[in-house]
A and B are shown apart, each in its own frame.
Chain A
Amino acid sequence: MAALTTTESETGSAPPAARPPRKVGFSQKLSRWDVKVSPYLYISPFFILFGLTGLFPLAYTAVVSVYDWNLLGGQGDFVGLQNYVDVLNQPTFWKSLVNTFSIFLLSAVPQVIIAITLAALLDQNLRNATFWRMGVLVPYVVAPIAVSLIFGRLFADQFGLINGFLGVLGLDPVGWHSDRFASHIAIASMVNYRWTGYNTLIFLAAMQAVPRDLYEAATIDGAGRVRQFFSVTVPQIRATIIFVVITASIGGLQIFDEVKLYDVYGQGGSDRQWMTTVLFLYETAWGNQRDLGRAAAVAWMLFLIILVIGFINFKFSTRIASSGPKAPKVSRAVTRRLLAEARSAGAESAARRGDQQSTTTTDTTDRSDS
């Protein structure tokens, strides 16, 4: 890993005497110090605040999880890993995991596919483009209470609109609450309603940044719309695809509102047929059990599961969006003009090195597991 600078070698730690110094003295030291410290300085606000608001709860949860700890009664005896064992022995916990994955797959997969398709449609020379583009984001602002009210009327088992419609067509009603899989579909559709437009806009932003001349070149090469999409668009928005897949995975495994609001009791159904693990956690802590110790154990296990899934998806999406044709990421002309204006001769070589680096850095994310 080298610090990106014009005066430092790739290792970033070569003694200055190894090269004829261009400038001597304090300003250079300052500059080197600037290069060394700045990166850390810029990420420090996040880490400092996160230490308080993220790390503290995580550590606190870890402590609670090894005690017998009632929500109201407070701390009890030290029980070691007993809470974890208890949770793992509960069939409902395993059921909730299956539900979580089922709802997650039913929501994340269609969501990403629909979002990227819509984005591709919006990334055209549309009339009133702004109107269409902002339109897809509307669901993101609708209050959950309104969404649950409407979807509740759609998906009611006996008098719901959807089953009424099916009845008109002469089909049997679907048990949107009684049937396990059907309830997952209903919940996933609420989740998809809320997040598809949002992800569409994220994809669109990335697509808009793809240089248009690439498409022109592809058109000249005789590639059709679909072919262009797969061989130009997808590789170009690789970083964004990774971003969306990972955030959708992490979010999808933590779906809570839609699940809790799907019926009045908020306990995942009479057979726990749509209880997800986050809801299980909530019920364990605030529900009838009031067992904060077990809930903390669930929280930690869920945390680890999400990490693993997130990592798998990262690998997966990196493969999907693996580098296609290498292409300049920005309009070259402007950069060239800027470089031409650069005064020092060292600048040219530096820029070349920068160029090389820019072709290699795109792969650094692959190694972020180091």
Chain B
Amino acid sequence: MHRSTRSQGRLAATAGISILALSLSACGGGSNDQGEGEGTSDEPITLTVATFNDFGYTEELLAQYTEEHPNVTVEQTVAARSEDARTNLTTKLAAGGAGLADVEAIEIDWMPELSQYPDLFEDLADPEVEGRWVDWKVEQGTANGKLIGYGTDIGPEAICYRQDLFEEAGLPSEPAEVAELLGGEDATWDDYFAAGEEFVKGSDAAWYDVGTSIYQGMVNQVEAAYENTDGTPIPLADNSQVQDLFETVTAQNEAGLSAGLEQWSDDWNAGFQKDAFATMLCPAWMTGPIESNSGGIDGWNIADVFPGGGGNWGGSFLTVPASGENVEAAKELAKWLTAPEQQTTAFENAGTFPSQIEAQESDTVQSFTNEFMNGAPVGEIFTNRAANIEVNPYKGPNYFSIHTTVQDAILRVEVAKSDEPDASWEKALSAYDELGL
């Protein structure tokens, strides 16, 4: 963690500035002792793990590692929000890696940018972990053929719904019936929207919270939405696939299916209490926010179904920054933390749904139910949902820049209500041009 002070002479006031600035390419600046073989030595060391939100790594769990490796003490730093963690990680990488933890947790959303610089991270490939995760999770954690992240949790999606509102609207409300209503095993988005039109006829509530989340669910089922698999961007003006999705989503809004509540906003938070919408695309971790916003509401349940095949939203990895001093020992630790047993414990602690096949199949996970969601068998449902995921969408370096322009276009139509769909799409095109790709 604390590097010894090096080359202070370089900081000779301002004369050193340009030299310093010039010598700070990303590979410079980090410390260069690679800590060869430290993973096996018995020297006492302290390893740091940086996580965010709640990975379920309790003191007890980390102490267990020390029991198994008496020379290693593990310290965890937790950032409250993933955004803070992201700023923190990128700033430290930009500054050459000082102050990074030995093991850094990252979110799947950061992969597109980080995977452009695989050299910043250790190669974690290891025969021991072959077959540990669902295939697409390993693909996600791989950059340029190099495994840089061990999977922790995933966000397989189901549909969360308000059974009380369904009943009022005269629709079937039992989870199995709802799954059938939405199209069952081979549900399509059209099935989902058709059910929505049925629903809004008999209810004051909208069908879902906002078009951007629907769009996100759709785009995650597209093989290569914004960029070709060689990383070159597809000009948005020529991207008929994305334009179709945009038009579909905004058309549903015309039909009154969307509540127009931007996710995570105050309006959205309040919308739960105001019965503003009846269904949500629901990755495993979403049950948490639903619960904390729905005090006093007991109608939520989960249907084991998802339109258009399976879908994944979110999930994280553990990486080992290459600039660390104890990379071998850090790899050991990351390997241990992402082993099925530990991930199962983490799931019990924090509800982070395992990406490890063995963990998903464990009794602990399989028998897990969610009290608040009317006892829905979440372990079983999300394991099933994870198995249904066929597409691992390609997300290149410019994925988020382009994705943001389309998301904004939807928000303008649905939330701000400042533009008609056509005009908003035009704005998206000019925003795309501004990216200068």
Contacts and interface: CB of A to CB of B under 8 A. Distances in A.
A269 to B, nearest CB: 7
A72 B266 contact: no
Which of A92, A263, A270 gathers most chain B CB within 10 Å? A270
A221 B87 CA distance: 63
Interface string B16-60: 011011101111000000000000000000000000000000000
Interface string A168-182: 000000010111000
B284 to A, nearest CB: 21
A64 B416 contact: no
B262 A74 contact: no
B434 A90 contact: yes
Contacts of A289: 401, 435
A71 B21 contact: no
B21 A64 contact: yes
Contact of A75 (B24, B266, B418): B24
B113 A91 contact: no
By size class, the interface of chain A is 35 or more
Interface stretch (A117-125, A149-157, A300-308): A149-157
Contact of A72 (B24, B114, B261): B114
A270 B415 contact: yes
A286 B434 contact: no
A86 B436 contact: yes
Interface in A66-93: 71-75, 86, 90-92
B156 to A, nearest CB: 23
B301 to A, nearest CB: 24
A64, A72, A75: most-surrounded residue (chain B CB, <10 A): A72
> By DSSP majority rule, is chain A's interface helix, strand, loop, or mixed?
loop
A152 B120 CA distance: 39
A159 B270 CA distance: 7
Interface stretch (B170-178, B247-255, B404-412): B404-412
A64 B24 CA distance: 11
Contacts of B415: 157, 177-178, 270
A156 B270 contact: yes
B427 interface: yes
B297 interface: no
Interface stretch (A29-37, A53-61, A235-243, A352-360): A53-61
Contacts of B265: 152, 156, 177, 263-264
Contacts, number: 114
Nearest to A266: B83
A63 interface: yes
Interface in B157-214: none
Contact of A91 (B17, B24, B430): B430
Interface string B233-260: 0000000000000000000000000001
Interface string B397-428: 01011001001110110011111000000010
A139 interface: no
Contact of B13 (A51, A71, A74): A51
Contacts of A177: 265, 415-416
Nearest to B398: A288
A156 B17 contact: no
Given A156-B267, A160-B266, A292-B94, A271 B427 contact: yes
Max chain B C-beta neighbours (<10 A), residue from A60, A63, A159, A269: A159
A6 interface: no
Contacts of B262: 263-264
Nearest to B430: A91
B392 interface: no
A47 to B, nearest CB: 12
Contact of A71 (B25, B90, B263, B404): B90
A64 B20 CA distance: 12
A159 B418 contact: no
A158 interface: yes
A270 B411 contact: yes
Contacts of A133: none
A72 B116 contact: yes
A100 interface: no
A91 B427 CA distance: 12
Lowest 8 A-B CB distances belong to which pairs?
Answer: A178-B416, A270-B411, A74-B26, A159-B270, A264-B264, A156-B266, A288-B401, A74-B25
Given A60-B21, A288-B404, 4 more contacts: A73-B26, A75-B24, A178-B417, A267-B404
19 contacts: A51-B14, A59-B14, A60-B21, A63-B18, A72-B120, A73-B116, A75-B22, A92-B431, A159-B267, A159-B274, A267-B404, A269-B416, A270-B409, A270-B411, A270-B415, A271-B416, A273-B416, A286-B91, A289-B435
